[in-house]
Amino acid sequence: MSISRRDFLKLAGISSLGIGFSATDLLWKNRAEAVEYMSSPKGLTAKRWAMVVDLRKFKTEEDYKRVIDACHYIHNVPDFGNLKDEVKWIWTDTFEHVFPFQKNEYLPEGVQEKKAVLFCNHCDNPPCVRVCPTQATFKRKDGIVAQDYHRCIGCRFCMAACPFGSRSFNWRDPRPFIKRLYPKFPTRTKGVVEKCNFCVERLAKGLGPKCVEVSNGGLIFGDLSDPESEVRKILSKHYSLRRKAELGTRPSVFYIIGGDEDA
Amino acid sequence: MLEKALTGSRRYWGWIFFLLAVIGVGFIFYLRQFAYGLGITGMSRDVSWGLYIGQFTFLVGVAASAVMLVIPYYLHDFKKFGKIVILGEFLAVAAVVMCMLFIMADMGQPMRVMNLVLHPSPKSIMFWDAIVLNGYLLLNIVIGWNTLEADRKEVPPPTWLKPLIYLSIPWAISIHTVTAFLYAGLPGRPFWLSAIMAARFLASAFAAGPALLIILALIVRKLTKFDPGKEPIQALGKIVTYAIIASTFFLGLEVFTAFYSKIPGHMASFQYLYAGLDGVGKLVPMMWLSTILAVVAIILLVNPNTRKNESILAFACVAAFISLWIDKGLGLIVGGFVPNPFERVTEYWPTLPETVITIGVWAIGLLVLTVLYKVAISIREAQIESGSNTH
Ligand code: SF4
Ligand code: SF4
Ligand code: SF4
């Protein structure tokens, strides 16, 4: 009873924002988890989804900004404008901070300061899933580490466990800080954790991740278990890095750093 | 028996109302946190656990330390602890109650606490922590209450209680071990990724808990007709001595491993805590205060002449307690998060609301402790007045 009341209040809350929702959107809002498991006939499927970040294709600030803005817009990621409340799904940092174990002052010029885009690695052996006491964070069969915002109790154990700083917590109500509301994706409440979801909602509709779509080839998405997939092809041709591979979480995000001559 | 908590001197009631007032203020701030969210605290994306979880961790130790009375009394038949073992058990009850409240205060969605039960995940250490903490609370309530009841009627405790008492011994160890595992098993947090974490937790607990108990016993003697006795206090003093030495030694082992290996990630948190990193180090004075207090406490406790002097002992216990509170209630948690996974330093300091809520929870703990102690002590006092023997 209390659950249906809570859901009702939530619905009332959304309606009061004055946004029209289609019936499926409402259904999805309340059953995020169920839909994430739902396979539609036109949905994209894989044994293990993976991403390749080809840093050679990221040249200007605009190249980074475009993917970040696209993701944050379609996922209603709030912008608090301060570090303390910060919530982010995809962002950048410099090589030496992204790969702290690869520090090397004799790297080719510019590599140390080169920025990389960062998001959840959708680890094959994810500590965030292991520690979550409610299974609010879980690993899907296709390798995506997904999260049910409605189940999360906000204990933040997963934030302590993720070695990649991939998770954000809603320290306060995020809704007033969503610059431009994207009605097709649920907004979150205060007190829950969130992160990149490899665009599960788009995969279900047969679309690839949004950041990939706008990356001009800088991001490549595909099935790691399929030798014919684009990700496998590019990984077989270039030397790639994974973040903190020595921790054994087996990230599904690969970084190609150097120019063609390093391949 | 609880009715004994309802009669008392003006001083007793004054204290009760003072605690209620503090709790009230804490609760008002909690309501603000409840409405606004945990953004009201000093925590951030980088330091996502702070004072609340620190208090939880520290108090689990205080709770576990009751075993330092139970083991000698029940396993080694150390009769001298007979009079105060109940004080240890009731301290454990109050401490576990505070632990649970701190967890509640730290939850982003406290209304969903039942999800822990509805969707349990045995792979999560937090699942096991919830089980052992609740079990321990129950064990101590049942044991404490029934021994006291038997005591009042001047009959031996019921026989079915014995197995529970024995069970409470490994259980006490388990609550602190499992809590240490919350931290010790995380990749990418080198400050916590240490096999000695559980041992460190137990050593510091067996120092902080008995130190608090000595302080409480001395207060009880001053304020009531019940005297816990000189010998049990001295025996506890020895326990504090050995435990704080072990605790300091274990910390030294961590420092050696970090700084002899020279692995940057393992040194960084220590550097942040004790020297500052990237030009910032809000916790540096606190950590050195903790170190100095530990050294002072050890010097005063090791020397039998100073330890036997009860006022010096009390001072040493206060020093030990504060030292370990800083180390575990603040440094251990924050140090695990600084620097962050990107080797950047984001600092943390509790905010005013966070501090007031924390004080409020401590006040609830003190209230529970006061009421339970009042009951236990009233029974002792009645026995003293009627001239009957206490064990
Ligand atoms: S990057 Fe972090 S949040 Fe993402 S799957 Fe790995 S451990 Fe979990
Ligand atoms: S904060 Fe939410 S997702 Fe993270 S561990 Fe706790 S319940 Fe799971
Ligand atoms: S995969 Fe989707 S959710 Fe993840 S960063 Fe890209 S756009 Fe955002």
* 3-class DSSP string for chain B: CHHHHHCCCHHHHHHHHHHHHHHHHHHHHHHHHHHHCHHHCCCCCCCCCCHHHHHHHHHHHHHHCCHHHHHHHHHCCCHHHHHCHHHHHHHHHHHHHHHHHHHHHHCCCHHHCCHHHHCCCCCCHHHHHHHHHHHHHHHHHHHHHHHHHHHHHCCCCCCCHHHHHHHHHHHHHHHHHHHHHHHHCCCCCCCCCCCCHHHHHHHHHHHHHHHHHHHHHHHHHHHCCCCCCHHHHHHHHHHHHHHHHHHHHHHHHHHHHHHHHCCHHHHHHHHHHHCCECCECCCHHHHHHHHHHHHHHHHHHHCHHHHHCHHHHHHHHHHHHHHHHHHHHHHHHHHHHCCCCCCCCCCCCCCHHHHHHHHHHHHHHHHHHHHHHHHHHHHHHHHHHHCCCCC
What CA dihedral angle connects A235, A259, B340 and A195, to 10 degrees? -50
Q: What is the per-residue pLDDT for B152? A: 86
DSSP one-letter code for A125: S
Ligand index nearest the alpha carbon of residue A126: 1
Query: Going by C-beta distance under 8 Å and a sequence separation of 6 or more, which residues neighbour residue B366?
Result: B19, B94
User: Considering only alpha carbons, which residue of chain B is nearest residue A138?
Assistant: B121
Reduced to 3 states, what is the DSSP secondary structure of residue A255?
A: strand
The span from the CA of B55 to the CA of B50, in Å, is: 9
Work out the pLDDT band at A101, boundaries 50, 70, 90.
Answer: confident
The span from the CA of B161 to the CA of B154, in Å, is: 16
How many Å lie between the alpha carbon of B351 and the closest alpha carbon of chain A? Answer: 13
pLDDT tens track for A150-203: 999 999 999 999 999 999 999 999 999 999 999 999 999 999 999 999 999 999
Give residue A89 CA to ligand 3 midpoint distance, Å. 7
Tokens of B286: 């606190």
Write the residue in A83, A153, A161 that is nearest to B116 by C-beta.
A153
pLDDT band at A20 (very low <50, low <70, confident <90, very high): very low
Distances (CA, A) of B94 to B165, B179, B226: 18, 18, 20
Distance, CA A194 to ligand 2 centroid (Å)?
9
Q: Is the beta carbon of A243 within 6 A of some atom in ligand 1?
A: no
Name the residue among A133, A162, A248 with its Cβ closest to that of B126.
Answer: A133
Query: What mean pLDDT is reported for chain A?
Result: 86
Torsion sign (Cα): B153, B155, B160, B161 = positive
- Residue B264 to chain A, least CA–CA distance (Å): 9
Q: Both tokens of residue B246?
A: 């072990």
Q: How far apart are CA A20 and CA A12, in angstroms?
A: 12
Residue B31 structure tokens = 């309501």
**Could you tell me the distance, in angstroms and rounded to a whole number, from the CA of residue A195 to the centre of ligand 1?**
9
Is the pLDDT confidence value at A261 over 60?
A: no
- Kindly list the residues from chain A whose CB atom is less than 8 angstroms away from the CB atom of residue B119: 134-136, 151
Confidence of residue A41 (pLDDT cuts 50, 70, 90): low
Residue type, B358: T
Interface A:B, Cβ pairs < 8 A: 147
Dist. CA B58 → ligand 2 center (Å): 22
Which of the residues B109, B182, B262 would you substitute to probe the A interface, choosing the one with the greatest number of A C-beta atoms within 10 Å?
A: B109
Interface test with B, best of A138, A171, A194, A249 (most B CBs within 10 A): A171
Structure-block tokens of residue B93: 């009850």
Q: Are A220 and A113 in contact (CB under 8 A)?
A: no
Percent of chain A with pLDDT over 90: 75
The alpha carbon of residue A173 is apart from the nearest alpha carbon of chain B, in Å, by 7
The distance of A142 to chain B (nearest Cα, Å) reads 21
Q: Which residue type, as a one-letter code, is found at position B94?
A: A
Assigned token pair, A94: 């410099």
Task: Write down how long chain A is.
Answer: 263
Tell me if A136 and B115 make a contact (CB, 8 A cut-off).
yes
Which atom of ligand 1 is found nearest the CA of A145?
5
Through-space distance between the first and last CA atoms of chain B, rounded to whole angstroms: 19
CA triplet A74, A78, A84: central angle to 5 degrees?
145
Cα–Cα distance list, B371 to A134, B16, B59, B135, B359 (Å): 35, 9, 19, 21, 18
Distance CA A215, CA A117 (A): 11
Write phi, then psi, for A241 (nearest 5 degrees): -120, 150
Kindly list the distances between the CA atom of residue B63 and the CA atoms of A45, B77, B95, B352, in Å, as whole numbers in the listed order: 51, 22, 5, 27
Q: Is the pLDDT at A14 greater than 80, yes or no?
A: no
Whole-number Cα distances in Å, B276 to B61, B94, B328: 28, 36, 18
Contact B82, B391 (CB under 8 A): yes
Average pLDDT estimate for A11-18: 39
**pLDDT tens-digit profile of B237-261?**
999 999 999 999 999 999 999 999 9
For residue A156, the chain B residues in CB contact (below 8 A) are 48-49, 106, 108
Phi, psi angle pair for A65, to nearest 5°? -60, -40
CA atoms of B47 and B330, how far apart (whole Å): 12
Chain A residues touching residue B186 (CB < 8 angstroms): 127, 131, 160-161, 163
Q: For residue range B279-326, list pLDDT tens digits in order.
A: 999 999 999 999 999 999 999 999 999 999 999 999 999 999 999 999
- For the stretch A207-236, pLDDT in tens is 999 999 999 999 999 999 999 999 999 999
- In whole angstroms, how far apart are CA B283 and each of B127, B135, B141, B293, B296? 31, 35, 37, 15, 20
Q: What distance lies between CA B292 and its chain's CA centroid?
A: 21
In the numeric block, which tokens belong to residue B353?
């609301």
ipTM: 0.93
Of A135, A157, A194, the residue with max ligand 2 atoms within 8 A of its CB, to mutate for a pocket test, comes to A157
Q: Which residue has the tokens 């023997």?
A: B389
Tell me, what's the pLDDT at B283?
A: 96
Contacts of B179 in chain A (CB under 8 A): none
Of B65, B56, B312, the residue nearest B204 (C-alpha): B65
Amino acid in position B159: T
In a 3-state reduction of DSSP, which class is residue A66? helix
Contact B38 A154 (CB under 8 A): yes
| Nearest Cα residue to A45 out of A219, A222, A215 | A222
Report the number of secondary-structure helices (H) and strands (E) in chain A. 10, 10
Using a CB-CB cut-off of 8 Å, the residues of chain A touching B43 are 171
Supply A125's token pair: 């052996």
Residue in B121, B332, B345 to test binding to A, most A beta-carbons within 10 Å: B121
From B203, B193, B236, select the one nearest B81 (Cα to Cα): B236
Residues of A in contact with B336 (CB under 8 A): 160
**Residue A39's pLDDT band (boundaries 50, 70, 90)?**
low
Residue B7 pLDDT: 86
Only one residue has tokens 């490994």, namely B170
Q: Does an H or E element contain A91, and which?
A: strand A91-94
Q: Tell whether ligand 1 has an atom less than 6 A from the beta carbon of residue A132.
A: no
Spell out, as residue ranges, where chain B has pLDDT lower than 50: 390-391
Question: What pLDDT sits at residue B5?
Answer: 85
State mean pLDDT over A80-94.
96
* pLDDT given for residue A34 in this prediction: 42
Q: Cα–Cα–Cα angle for A148, A154, A155, nearest 5°?
A: 120
